[in-house]
Amino acid sequence: YHINHPIHVLMYEGKLTKEQLQCWVANRYYYQIMIPQKDAAVMSNCPDVEVRRGWIHRITDHDGYDDVEGGIEAWVKLGEAVGLTREQVTSLEMVSPGVRFAVDAYVNFARQRPWQESVCSSLTELFAPHIHQQRISSWPTMYPWVKEEGFIYFKKRLTEARRDVEQGLHISLDYFGGSREMQLRALDILQFKLDVLWVIADAIMLACTEVKVEGRDYLRQPVIKFR
């Protein structure tokens, strides 16, 4: 599971620098803004109106609706809480190419594969509530400079993720539970999603960690601004 990636281990041990935590937040923002597109792809491939009615809240959870702020805005506030400006987060100027590639692969999977497979891929959220609670509990001590509004997203997802997993499990057990072959397919799908999350963590760690080759600094992806 991607929570065992070195960058997450360092995070939960309180060993990330301010700049490294900022890098993580800025890069994960790209994942956040693409999730509604992934969920829209699931709906566009699904002919079952009841499933669509139950799934659409995932889009509004992230995009927001009327005067209710969604998860994307909450993540921007997390960026501001760790010391980034709104522009630094929303411009995507800090997003690693590796993160873009991995996230785009996930969205394309949802667009091209049967909707039931996309639903199955979302089950990596099973452990999300525990992860969010861990951040809520530990960050004030380990990263006391993070402002309180930075925890809005994590608190929001405590209930949303549990509800989403319940729905995803119901659909996946019904679709994949009939044979050993289908069960193995479900495991392959989950492994793909776990690989996506691991590659995202890889790219972030490479972007925010000093690498030296033969004593010389090695910059994986220089930041180039054309405007």
Q: In the chain, how long is the greatest CA-to-CA distance?
A: 60
Assess if residue 136 is contained within a domain: yes
pLDDT digits (tens, 9 = 90+) for 121-138: 999 998 888 999 999 999
Assess if residue 95 is contained within a domain: yes
Decide if pLDDT at 150 tops 80: yes
Predicted pLDDT at 67: 86
Q: What is the pTM of this model?
A: 0.91
Backbone φ and ψ of 95, nearest 5°: -75, 130
> What domain range includes position 101?
2-209
Percentage of the chain beyond pLDDT 90 is: 85
Residues 35-52: b if buried by 16+ CB within 10 A, e if exposed: bbbbbbbbbebbeeeebe
Q: How many other CB atoms are found less than 10 A from the CB of residue 199?
A: 19
CATH number of the domain encompassing residue 175 = 1.20.910.10
Confidence label for 217 from pLDDT (cuts 50, 70 and 90): low
Assess if residue 88 is contained within a domain: yes
Asked if residues 40 and 109 have their Cβ atoms less than 8 Å apart, the reply is no
Which residue matches tokens 């691991």?
198
Assess if residue 104 is contained within a domain: yes
pLDDT digits (tens, 9 = 90+) for 29-69: 999 999 999 999 999 999 999 999 999 999 999 999 988 89
Assess if residue 217 is contained within a domain: no
Assess if residue 225 is contained within a domain: no
Number of domains in the chain: 1
Assess if residue 215 is contained within a domain: no
Confidence label for 1 from pLDDT (cuts 50, 70 and 90): confident
Predicted pLDDT at 207: 92
Confidence label for 142 from pLDDT (cuts 50, 70 and 90): very high
Predicted pLDDT at 3: 84
Confidence label for 226 from pLDDT (cuts 50, 70 and 90): very low
Across 74-82, average pLDDT: 98
